[in-house]
Chain A
Amino acid sequence: MAQPPPPTAVIPREAWEGCSVLLDVNDGDRLAFFRLTPGATVKIGDKSCSLQPLLGRPFGSLFRVGPDGLLPCQDDGKPRDAGAAQDETRDNRSLVDNNTAQTLSSEDIEAMKREGASGDAIVEALIANSSTFGNKTVFSQEKYKLKKQKKYAPKVLLRRPSTRSICETYFKKYPARIGFMRVDTLSLLLSMANVGAYSDVLAVDMVGGLVVGAVAERLGGTGYVCSTYLGSAPSSIDIIRMYNLNSEMTSRIFQAPLSDLCSLKTSGDAPGSIQGDEPGVVPDESFQSSLEKPSDTEVSDGNAQSTTAQPIDIEAPEPATDEHLNQGDISMPDCKGSNGNSIAPKAPRAGKAPSPERMKYWGEHGFSSLIVAAPGHEVESVVADLLPLLSYSAPFAIYHQYLQPLATCMHSLQVSKMAIGLQITEPWLREYQVLPSRSHPHMQMNAFGGYILSGIRVHKPDPLGARVQEKSSGATESMLVSL
């Protein structure tokens, strides 16, 4: 069998001017997103460092703070213990906590710093002047070193923002903004909803854009994701700016009010009725034209976007991410059309209103998947409105942080017979420490990542046609679906 050559790389492996990056300071102690603009800086300790040294560097590179800012680490940055765990005989019997073990004073350290000693040199000095260090076990020596290294020789890891790293970062730092959705839960939503290339995904994203961004990443510039919202203003999907979505991927994201989508069904399947006379659809806003003139169309939508875009930047609760999104133009990159993003020269804005043609297509063909992530909302009625918009046999996945709303929703779907394969699941994720003779689950774990109701929309026979047969088998059906 002739094997075609492997396709060329699709994942950017090096940081470029204008891209979004995730900086991980001291092994997860601090995580923050930045836009690599010429003036962007990160504050580490009391030092403000330019991000320019990151340009062209591979994602995964480690940096340290030198006298003139960030410097790439030459070593692998990983002080590794040699193992030998079984032979450890030392213990903590002689350890007395009387705060006299360290003979180096804070003045001494300040003096060293003034003389230009490197962070690593200070750590060495601290170890040399610790009277107890030699008596510690190998493991606690390692711990001690690490603690001092974090303080005096901080390391900055350049990470590539992806669904995995973005979800993990928000879950760790701002779980409420993403509705406490853990990365394994998000992954399950995407799988259960069968999201892949050329999907037409209908999404209710009230988790800041995490779901829309993750879907757009999986679509890879094909298919469409339509983010629908309940009220008159779209819910914020600002998190998609953390993803490095290129213009093709961004152009696949649409936003439409639920009422517009619902009228696709209530107005019947007559194709003509959808076109033109939909109240919420900008008539001349077709998909193609929006690519050409991204900035001067759909003013109303633009306003909605800019008003909802603000809060996320401002309400950063921790100083740890004070620079969070505020660097350069990451806060409003697409509305102004001013970003110098090299891979998206014309940067179409995410979340345009879909064209009437697209709406008509969705009305006739149905969406191929549905994901609902409205963690603070009652979902039963929303799902009842949304399911008819799905194509027959299309899977759906509904996230919630509470069980009861999903149970109610599942029950009503069982009664209405609109869906089969209904199941409520809750993922359980445990991380392990794996070290020679010291493997065990992490002492701290997250105990809750959310619930998912999944199922498959089915074709409901004509109510008049199959009525009799339906009746006769109704009993069987209800037993089957109730798990």
Chain B
Amino acid sequence: MMVPLDPCNKPTSQRRITEGDTVVVYERHDSMRAVTVSAAGVLQNRFGVFRHADWLGRHFGSKVFSSGGVGGKGGRKAGGGFVHLLAPTPELWTLVLSHRTQILYIADISLVVAYLELVPGCVLLESGTGSGSLTTSLARAVAPHGRVYTFDFHDQRADSAREDFEKNGLSSLITVAVRDIQGEGFPDEYSGAADAVFLDLPQPWLAIPSAGTMLRQDGVLCSFSPCIEQVQRACETMRSCFTDIRTFEILLRTYEVHEGALKSATANEASSEGSSLPGKKRKIRSAGEALDSSQTSSVIARPCSTARGHTGYLTFARKSVHGSQTGAAEVCPTS
């Protein structure tokens, strides 16, 4: 269960892996997958063959080794392969889910959750559902008693998302429906009931008037668009019944850390071959190796040389309370 719905089903050190659990199999930071555990199941990857039966009864977070003899590829030692079995979280889910669309990643997701001011119990409308990456984090934010109503115009995608949510135990938090929000707006039944609305649509300006109708006063709208032209147009539409319109771009820079011995500027050439700036193969070594006299051995860090350069612009706006005070609802006509 990815998001606990009562105190009993939260992951603790007492919980063991059982039949039917979803575990995230961690090979390395950029290589993970979600696996449903079944007694007869077998996982095969480059580190070897893993029998699910060996996992049952273990702690989440355990390191498990491949069954003896069946070595992995790429010159790894036979039988020495291992993976870690992790309890799924929305963050891990974002890294393992099957991409049916472009998805949002942790930086955008965390800013969206914070700026939409989501807390447990909130009601939130989302369109489109896409692959459900953001939806899963939204569900955690509003759990246990809140609800995410998410809409996608794509039948099949909605079905797949619904299956994922079901599998992750999120069905009571997320309702998936098929609907063209740009064309029809959100259903009237949520009028004035939403604490927040999230739009990830190609033409968000078509849905913004409806979003305004759905929101409670002072509720927050977010629109995610990759292109500034979309943002431009969305903002123009927002000005009629929203205030506090702000557009952001958020990116993450990651750092790599190595234990490296920098050559001393005064030392002679002799020691150069043993030392190195950290290469790809650098191993973590303590003691002996590091004692190389004239060098300063230390942990050093630098930014990784590749990074995501753009995801999209996040535009946030607050539903204006002026007008609702005088009882006039004419400010935000639905299209």
**CB-based contact A395/B91 at 8 Å:** yes
**CB-based contact A197/B4 at 8 Å:** yes
Q: Which A residues are CB-close (under 8 A) to B232?
A: 434, 436, 439
CB distance from A322 to the nearest CB of B (A): 26
**CB-based contact A429/B250 at 8 Å:** yes
**CB-based contact B120/A403 at 8 Å:** no
**CB-based contact A391/B243 at 8 Å:** no
- Cβ-based interface call for A61 (8 A): yes
Residue of chain A at shortest CB distance from B31: A480
CA A303 to CA B250, docked complex, whole Å: 43
- Cβ-based interface call for A463 (8 A): no
- Cβ-based interface call for A278 (8 A): no
CB distance from A441 to the nearest CB of B (A): 8
Q: Which A residues are CB-close (under 8 A) to B82?
A: 469, 473, 476-477
CB distance from A371 to the nearest CB of B (A): 13
Which listed residue (A198, A395, A420) contacts B89, Cβ 8 A?
Answer: A395
Q: Which B residues are CB-close (under 8 A) to A364?
A: 13-14
CA A194 to CA B106, docked complex, whole Å: 11
Q: Which B residues are CB-close (under 8 A) to A458?
A: 61-63, 84
Number of interface residues of B (CB under 8 A): 106
CB distance from B192 to the nearest CB of A (A): 10
0/1 string, B226-238, CB within 8 A of A gives 1? 0010011001100
Chain B, interface SS category: mixed
Binds B, one of A8-16, A92-100, A125-133, A337-345: A8-16
CA A54 to CA B95, docked complex, whole Å: 46
- Cβ-based interface call for B324 (8 A): yes
Chain A, interface SS category: mixed
CA A365 to CA B304, docked complex, whole Å: 36
**CB-based contact A191/B91 at 8 Å:** yes
- Cβ-based interface call for A84 (8 A): no
- Cβ-based interface call for B6 (8 A): yes
- Contacts A164-B117, A391-B11, A461-B63; is A414 near B284 (CB within 8 Å)? yes
Residue of chain A at shortest CB distance from B140: A196
CB distance from A200 to the nearest CB of B (A): 8
CA A77 to CA B59, docked complex, whole Å: 58
- Contacts A432-B249, A436-B236; is A427 near B107 (CB within 8 Å)? yes
Q: Which B residues are CB-close (under 8 A) to A232?
A: none
Which listed residue (A58, A404, A410, A425) contacts B325, Cβ 8 A?
Answer: A58
- Cβ-based interface call for B113 (8 A): yes
Residue of chain A at shortest CB distance from B6: A198
Q: Which B residues are CB-close (under 8 A) to A192?
A: 91, 106, 110
Residue of chain A at shortest CB distance from B171: A1
CA A441 to CA B249, docked complex, whole Å: 9
Q: Which B residues are CB-close (under 8 A) to A365?
A: 12-14
**CB-based contact A425/B253 at 8 Å:** yes
**CB-based contact B147/A7 at 8 Å:** yes
Number of interface residues of A (CB under 8 A): 102
CA A414 to CA B282, docked complex, whole Å: 13
**CB-based contact B193/A6 at 8 Å:** yes
**CB-based contact B13/A392 at 8 Å:** yes
0/1 string, A305-333, CB within 8 A of B gives 1? 00000000000000000000000000000
- Cβ-based interface call for A37 (8 A): no
CB distance from B263 to the nearest CB of A (A): 20
Q: Which B residues are CB-close (under 8 A) to A1?
A: 175
CA A153 to CA B245, docked complex, whole Å: 22
- Cβ-based interface call for A423 (8 A): yes
**CB-based contact B77/A472 at 8 Å:** yes
Which listed residue (B61, B107, B114) contacts A164, Cβ 8 A?
Answer: B114
**CB-based contact A194/B90 at 8 Å:** yes
0/1 string, A71-107, CB within 8 A of B gives 1? 0110111101000000000000000000000000000
The 3 closest A-B pairs by CB, nearest first: A220-B120, A392-B61, A10-B121
7 extra A-B contacts, CB within 8 A, seeds A194-B91, A407-B300: A77-B322, A191-B110, A196-B4, A366-B13, A428-B250, A456-B61, A458-B84
Which residue numbers of B lie inside 8 Å of A, CB to CB? 3-7, 10-14, 26-29, 58-63, 65, 76-77, 79-82, 84-87, 89-91, 106-107, 109-111, 113-115, 117, 119-123, 137, 140-141, 143-147, 175, 190, 193, 195, 216-218, 228, 231-232, 235-236, 239, 243-259, 281-284, 286, 299-301, 303-304, 313, 315, 318-325
Chosen A-B contacts, 7 in total, with CB atoms closer than 8 Å, are A9-B195, A196-B3, A425-B255, A432-B249, A435-B235, A475-B283, A478-B283
